[in-house]
Amino acid sequence: MTAPDHAHKPALQSQRGAYADFVDELFRLKLIDREKRDFLREGLRLAAGGGQATPPIVPPSSTLCRVSEAGIKRAADA
């Protein structure tokens, strides 16, 4: 194989930037609306520890039920 007779430019590489800047750029380009931008920015704030993202996890109500020894035996026999 022979070398090409013309010069190649080096490939462009993307630069890592702040996600908030990316979200703002999407809004500026009208690719997302204000509501979507605010939603994404709120997710960033919560992910960074700026608040509670989800309600506290509550165990299922059945975990607090008491089971009799007879019930455990019947379940084991089944």
- pLDDT of res. 27: 93
- pLDDT of res. 8: 73
pLDDT in tens, 59-77: 666 666 777 888 888 888 8
Region of residue 12 (phi > 0: left; psi between -120 and 50: alpha; otherwise: beta)? beta
**CB of 32 closer than 8 Å to CB of 26:** yes
Residue of 42, 51, 53 whose CA lies nearest to 19: 42
Model pTM above 0.75: no
Contacts of 44 (CB under 8 A, 6+ apart): 19, 20, 23
Query: What radius of gyration do the chain's Cα atoms show?
Result: 28
- pLDDT of res. 57: 63
